[in-house]
Structure 1
């Protein structure tokens, strides 16, 4: 596998950010119209007729042109980066007051199950609509919450919670937007889609991209996401960041493919159990190295011009740091970059 130095190409995508008020995280990208694609991104040297083609309709030809020129052996790709939609663990994580004793007790129990009573005791409000969902509609059912490989919350739940100002974007809503972007604004369908193996990313990928691909069935593009182990969230011992087995994943998502060396069982689940001070966690450097491996693999093995990555908050912060400027995304949001890779 080759090794590359990665950088962002300026004057293609504009972005705006909001700063973390506690100054503990990278700035969060605010989604721009057209995902920030500048109308004159390809300058005066483009062979495309700007009077006919919309900016997104010519992005692929522009990137192909850069790759043909092959200056310094450089490779270029438009990369859509998508964060999974709102998940049960997102709500609970934000709701639990971690610094009190009950909050820490709940956090430490995430590898198993927690009760609604324990969550409430930790300061997490559980709206009635969410409680009904967790009880499966049976008010007498055991009120236990498992966060293992935490799934997306159904849209009808997120919509009602969103009214309280707690949640962000819903994956299904983003899918409708993406469909319109393709049909109206001529966004290119990704040539390849890569996704984390965690269920919230697998399902987000399906909700966002499958409708647009189905509308263009029979064309050159097929909905065949590739599950990439290294796109998973930072390993920190939380059960929400462990994945299901390969067999379970492919049973639920038969249209997906896995990397050739994708393990049957979750090796990360065991690797991060052994760590000093009883706090199994992946360092920032380790997750940055993982994201660098993701980019190296894609630029080495994928000759296409437009790809998409569905992943998580820590992963996105590390990925964007590797390509030159650390950024975050809200749940269920998407951004785009033009990335240059130069062999070194």
Structure 2
């Protein structure tokens, strides 16, 4: 039985579907000031002279301190990984050919896409976002994430490092992302979504935290298994259940994938929109503890 009822909280940030319409390919890109709207807060002492983010942060703290017992709010920075090898191959061969043939292979003889790595363009996009974080944290008051969570797939591990390591170092904050299997992309027979071993992750990303039960080999990916949408949404529910139950942070980052973001939006009943590669989108989520019958 679920411990929480999750819902997104509208009215604080630009409307995702509407903003996406103005972006290339109707995929939402990182918005100016992360899309935080100018508005009046009912926070006692709300000062119009302060920056939008300072006011929002105080308001969110007030919400958490004054909500009924069992109700809490967290702001999630949803970060989609940068452009990766499989994205390039998919664009090259076409979506249908990718799904029916190429996605089941490991290589085309020139590049390999098992646990697909970032392309140079994807690395560049992630570095640009890292520079933006340096600017945001230094001038606009955007709160840095207190916890960094990432999918274990290589493109997310590297995106997390490129985006957050510089700003954490600048502010003398320990860079220690937490790797979560539950943040993985929807499980299909596409080899790009088969992760590397625990040993490979530990060797290439020694700062990252791996749960004790994180398997050495990828036991979730199978060539003959396709996770349904309902199963995927349920997996994201387990993720949010775990975070709200065990993480006291208010501002958190999730480095993940396109379908994974869609599953989170569906779970919290937010309007659907697509997120561009290497973009970050804030999502305010309310959790209400479900009363259990004795």
TM score, norm. by length of structure 2: 0.89
User: Residue 43 of structure 2 contacts residue 62 of structure 2 at CA under 8 Å; is this kept in 1?
Assistant: no
How far has the Cα of 1:181 moved from its partner? 1.1
CA separation of 1:301 and 1:200: change in aligned 2, threshold 3 A:
same
1:337 aligns with 2:264: no
- Corresponding residue SS for 2:281: strand
1:107 aligns with 2:93: no
Question: What is the alpha-carbon distance in structure 1 between the residues aligned to residue 9 and residue 103 of structure 2?
Answer: 41
User: Residue 88 of structure 1 contacts residue 150 of structure 1 at CA under 8 Å; is this kept in 2?
Assistant: yes
How far has the Cα of 1:99 moved from its partner? 4.3
How far has the Cα of 1:19 moved from its partner? 5.5
User: Residue 234 of structure 1 contacts residue 315 of structure 1 at CA under 8 Å; is this kept in 2?
Assistant: yes
Stretch deviating more after TM superposition (28-37 or 282-291): 28-37
Partner residue, 1:164: none
Partner residue, 2:147: 192
Question: What is the alpha-carbon distance in structure 2 between the residues aligned to residue 81 and residue 98 of structure 1?
Answer: 25
- Corresponding residue SS for 2:115: coil
Partner residue, 2:162: 207
How far has the Cα of 1:28 moved from its partner? 3.7
How far has the Cα of 1:145 moved from its partner? 2.0
Question: What is the alpha-carbon distance in structure 2 between the residues aligned to residue 245 and residue 177 of structure 1?
Answer: 32
Partner residue, 2:31: 32
Partner residue, 1:97: 94
CA separation of 1:310 and 1:18: change in aligned 2, threshold 3 A:
same
CA separation of 1:49 and 1:260: change in aligned 2, threshold 3 A:
farther
- 1:168-317 matched pairs, under 5 angstroms: 170-217=125-172, 221-269=173-221, 272-274=222-224, 280-317=225-262
Deviations 1:204-240 (A, max 9, x none): 01111111111011xxx42111000010111111111
CA separation of 1:45 and 1:65: change in aligned 2, threshold 3 A:
closer
- Unaligned 5+ segments in structure 1 are 116-143, 160-168, 275-279
Partner residue, 1:5: 5
User: Residue 288 of structure 1 contacts residue 322 of structure 1 at CA under 8 Å; is this kept in 2?
Assistant: yes
Deviations 1:253-288 (A, max 9, x none): 11110233211211112xx334xxxxx311111111
Question: What is the alpha-carbon distance in structure 2 between the residues aligned to residue 216 and residue 337 of structure 1?
Answer: 24
Q: CA RMSD in A?
A: 2.4
Question: What is the alpha-carbon distance in structure 2 between the residues aligned to residue 97 and residue 40 of structure 1?
Answer: 43
Question: What is the alpha-carbon distance in structure 2 between the residues aligned to residue 59 and residue 222 of structure 1?
Answer: 25
CA separation of 1:32 and 1:178: change in aligned 2, threshold 3 A:
same
Over alpha carbons, which structure has the higher Rg? Answer: 1
How far has the Cα of 1:103 moved from its partner? 8.1
TM score, norm. by length of structure 1: 0.77
Question: What is the alpha-carbon distance in structure 2 between the residues aligned to residue 113 and residue 14 of structure 1?
Answer: 40
